[in-house]
Amino acid sequence: MRSLPLPLALTARLTPVAVLACAGWALSSGPLTPTQDEAAADTSRSPSESSSSAPSSTAVAKTFTTAPAPCTSVATKTVSSLVPGAKTAGKEIPSTDTDARRTCSWNALKGYDYRWLDVSFELMDSDDAAGTSYKERIAEKSGGGAVPGLGEEGYSVVNLTTEDKQQTREGVVIARVSNALVIITYNGSDFETKKAPSTDEINEGAIKAAKEAVASLQASVN
């Protein structure tokens, strides 16, 4: 690059100095200089007032940020036992947000016996939010009882319904683990006798699936 002639070079070097000098005057004695009243008002602000406008960097830590694959959360032998004749791979239900909610379903009719099993994972923004949702859900499904040792909180309920003389017994198990909920739905009917499976069969099956799903959820962060 060709060097500038000496006068131009001096001008190029001295111009920034002149600009800075003028800026310094403006800051120290020009119209941009705060008045004594303004300076006093600024120094009189409390630390809380000064920092109140600063954005908060505090974020709630979440144990679970993505829902695990629900169709592999229960052992194939458990699926075969609870839903005889079902494809053990299961079928995942479409979700609008797979990070927050995932559900897998198994169902089959073997002879006249029908069974249905759903396993769902739902993730909340915090442990408190999950705890609130857990309480609301068990309030909606009253009549059940606690399941000790199932997550941090566990609940099970079984209900019998009859439609056109056909009985169906359904068990629902809800467990909370940190910011996640595990929800199991298990039901069955006998279309020959019109009767439903026993309460113990449905309850024990739902709890077994819930324990395996909770273990799968916990393993997803290890």
In angstroms, the Cα distances linking 186 to 116, 118, 137, 164, 205 are 6, 6, 16, 21, 7
Mean pLDDT over all residues of the chain? 82
In angstroms, the Cα distances linking 116 to 80, 91, 172, 202 are 12, 12, 12, 10
> Where do the domains of the chain lie, and which CATH numbers do they carry?
6-51 (no CATH), 70-219 (2.60.120)
Q: What digits encode the pLDDT tens for the residues 114-137?
A: 999 999 999 999 999 999 999 999
Strand partners, 173: 156, 184
Note whether 153 and 178 are within 8 A (CB): no
Query: What per-residue confidence (pLDDT) applies to 190?
Result: 97
Q: What does the alpha-carbon distance between residue 176 and residue 151 come to, in Å, rounded to a whole number?
A: 6
Query: What per-residue confidence (pLDDT) applies to 179?
Result: 97
Residue 157: count other Cβ atoms within 10 Å of its Cβ: 18
pTM over 0.95: no
Q: Which of 104, 57, 97, 48 is nearest to 78 (CA)?
A: 104
Residue stretches of the chain with pLDDT short of 50? 1-34, 38-57
- End-to-end CA distance of the chain: give it in Å, rounded: 61
Query: What per-residue confidence (pLDDT) applies to 59?
Result: 60
Query: What per-residue confidence (pLDDT) applies to 58?
Result: 54
| Cβ partners under 8 Å of residue 85, min gap 6 | 108, 109, 110
